[in-house]
Amino acid sequence: MLLERKDFDAVRQEKGRLRSYLLASLKNFLAKAHRRATTIKRGEGRPLVPLEDLLVRERADLEPADTLSADRIYERRWALTLLEQVLARLEEEYHVADNSALFEQLKQMLNDEPDRPSQAKIAQALNMKENAVKQAFHRLRQRYRLLLREEIAQTVAAPSDVEDELRHFISILQT
């Protein structure tokens, strides 16, 4: 390797002895060979997997497997993606109307979780009357339904199929 890389061209008598140069070169070569050998033991330079990722994978292995068929899982993911698209469109409409804060508060009321805020708390947070929040939520739900119907209409061949597809969509979400 010394001859191939022409390392002897850099050797000068004024800088020291050839024997010292060869000894230093041999030590460097052995150190690099040792580092390569230990690197192979540690994974050959492949990226390390963070411990947090391993813990997440381990927890996922302990969770029960989904009992739904692959077809039902696909349909459920499609339905959830459709809901996300509708919610994103609705959020954009509220953002354009400069009502983002109202949307963020009302969006929390769409889920059935017990810790969702009440209309009274939202009214207090937005400095509105409770009746106004109730009306705003009613309008949000109406618009949500309309946008969902529009999204579903884009997935069917004929407009007469929208109702059947909507019923199928609801049945998917209920399972």
Task: Give the relative orientation of helices 100-108 and 119-126 as an angle to the nearest 10 degrees.
Answer: 160
pTM of the model: 0.58
Overall average pLDDT of the 130-153 stretch: 92
pLDDT tens for 55-81 read: 677 666 655 556 777 788 888 888 888
Q: Is residue 127 a contact partner of residue 120, using CB atoms and an 8 Å limit? A: no
Backbone φ and ψ of 44, nearest 5°: 55, 40
Overall average pLDDT of the 6-34 stretch: 75
